[in-house]
A and B are shown apart, each in its own frame.
Chain A
Amino acid sequence: AQSVSQHNHHVILSEAASLELGCNYSYGGTVNLFWYVQYPGQHLQLLLKYFSGDPLVKGIKGFEAEFIKSKFSFNLRKPSVQWSDTAEYFCAVNKGAGNKLTFGGGTRVLVKP
């Protein structure tokens, strides 16, 4: 079965620090990759997605992610975080033509002011 792993369950960092969240998936075929974010009290929203082309994708709020096919990874990065980036971040994967998403367990990020 397809699985998605997020290695860090909790991350605490200070404002202006750099953030990198790991995501690995197990499926070997064509995949579409997503990062969703859930801010406190809000519903999930898309940060960015990758399905083809340049493996370095840029999303909203200064986030970017790099798809490395050989490592089955899609890590999320932000060079300098703000207090408002405090949220839970989810990596998700689906197979080429289907909409069914498989989510990772999520990473809670706390940014201290």
Chain B
Amino acid sequence: NAGVTQTPKFQVLKTGQSMTLQCAQDMNHEYMSWYRQDPGMGLRLIHYSVGAGITDQGEVPNGYNVSRSTTEDFPLRLLSAAPSQTSVYFCASSPRGGRGTDTQYFGPGTRLTVL
């Protein structure tokens, strides 16, 4: 298994541009989520999904959209990039939605810089 994969690894955008960060998992996990990591703030939840066709907002959803058309994929779309969205983005998955005891498996991250 490849686990959780993310593309691209690095990205530089100009203010106002849009882009999609890709996330895929091959473990047939129900739950997938996106976090952003900023220095001193740990990881903050952006959006999450408990299964195909179901998404919901996390702690910091503004400026981001998600969709979950398949179990495997959970792309994160930046609608109009802003410098405040400069961060490292992590995708994670866990076996079952609604089971808080499950371990979450993280991808390698995407480092995004918005100029």
* Interface contact B100-A98, CB-CB below 8 Å: yes
* Interface contact B100-A96, CB-CB below 8 Å: yes
Query: CB of A100 within 8 A of chain B?
Result: yes
Number of interface residues of B (CB under 8 A): 28
* Interface contact B109-A99, CB-CB below 8 Å: no
Query: CB of B53 within 8 A of chain A?
Result: no
Q: C-beta contact mask, A28-60 vs B, less than 8 Å → 1, else 0?
A: 000010101000001111100101000000000
Q: A92-110: which have CB < 8 Å to B? A: 92, 94-106
- Among B92, B98, B100, the residue within 8 A (CB) of A32 is B100
The chain A residue with its CB closest to the CB of B104 is A101
8 A-B residue pairs with CB within 8 Å: A43-B106, A51-B101, A92-B43, A99-B50, A99-B98, A100-B33, A101-B104, A105-B40
Residues of A near any B CB (own CB < 8 A): 4, 6, 9, 32, 34, 36, 42-46, 49, 51, 90, 92, 94-106
Residues of B near any A CB (own CB < 8 A): 31, 33, 35, 40-45, 48, 50, 58-59, 90, 92, 94, 97-104, 106-109
